[in-house]
Amino acid sequence: MNNIEKGLFLKLFNRGGYVLDFNTPDFDAFTMASVGVSLCLKYQCSKGKALAAFISEASEDDSTKLLLDLLGYYENVYPKFEKERDGINDSTIGITNEEYAKYYKKCKEIADRITSNKFDVFTTQSVKEAFSSEYIEKQTALMIENQSKNPTESIGKAKELIESCCETILEKNCIKPNKDWKLNNLVDETMKLLQITPNHIPDTAKEAAAIKAILGSLRGIATNIAIIRNAYGSGHGKSASYKGLQERHAKLAIGSSITLVNFLWDSFERNNR
């Protein structure tokens, strides 16, 4: 979900500093149950400002979960929902119901897209716990299945698979990734840990130059997939004139990421036998 889409949810939920019809204790209880944080208690401000602050700084998993949970509350509990959905006038609401109805329609489309996405939704921690050769195979199959229908999403997932692999390997070796590291930094640190950088190949090794060249190219995969993802993949807002890449480009990103991930994971498992 990009920032523009998150903004639509905030416009739907924020009612002049309030969030729907929640009072402060109920809102804190709701957010605690959803994402483990009592927002008003944490930010010491109005419910609307606390929600906006959390969405701007929380992880993608947590911000998406809370917004979807609030949409579920809106649809099932919020008493004005039926009037707003149908655009019926209600003078007690400052903004017109027609406007809220438009926000709801857009938010519902976003929510349906996310919940119908066939890719498994894991929190960062659960990915690290579940990451395995079987997990790689499963994610590979899902990316390939989706590459023709949604190449943009597949490109984003190719980058995320590399990210998850590197973070898992580093943390299993008690190395906490720096939050400021980019994808190429994660790959660099992982390759150093596994001793599979070009520098780890002695010049006396048979065909050393060729092996070093391949290892250097593998590192380059991460850098270039991140560049492609930032320009064309999921996870960033796009202008109205944006056009995504085609299936063949998604295949290239997916194939490259799978090659790198399999090599990193095979090297990790070899070192831990």
109 lies in the same domain as 184? no
144 lies in the same domain as 109? no
SS3 annotation, the chain? CCHHHHHHHHHHHEECCEECCCCHHHHHHHHHHHHCCCHHHHHCCCHHHHHHHHHHHCCHHHHHHHHHHHHHHHHHCCCCHHHHHHCCCCCCCCCCHHHHHHHHHHHHHHHHHHHCCCCCCCCHHHHHHHCCHHHHHHHHHHHHHHCCCCHHHHHHHHHHHHHHHHHHHHHHCCCCCCCCCCHHHHHHHHHHHHCCCHHHCCCCCCCHHHHHHHHHHHHHHHHHHHHHHHHHCCCCCCCCCCCCCCHHHHHHHHHHHHHHHHHHHHHHHHHCC
13 lies in the same domain as 66? yes
82 lies in the same domain as 150? no
Range of the domain at 259: 124-271
267 lies in the same domain as 136? yes
Last residue of a domain, one of 74, 92, 115: 115
Last residue of a domain, one of 81, 115, 149: 115
240 lies in the same domain as 258? yes
Domain count, the chain: 2
196 lies in the same domain as 263? yes
Last residue of a domain, one of 89, 115, 141: 115
226 lies in the same domain as 171? yes
pLDDT in tens, the chain (273 residues): 899 999 999 999 988 889 999 999 999 999 998 889 999 999 999 999 999 999 999 998 899 999 998 998 898 888 787 777 776 655 454 567 888 888 999 999 998 887 665 444 433 444 444 577 777 887 888 788 777 777 777 888 888 889 889 999 998 899 988 888 888 899 999 999 999 888 888 888 888 888 888 888 888 888 888 787 766 544 444 444 445 567 888 888 888 888 899 899 999 988 887
252 lies in the same domain as 167? yes
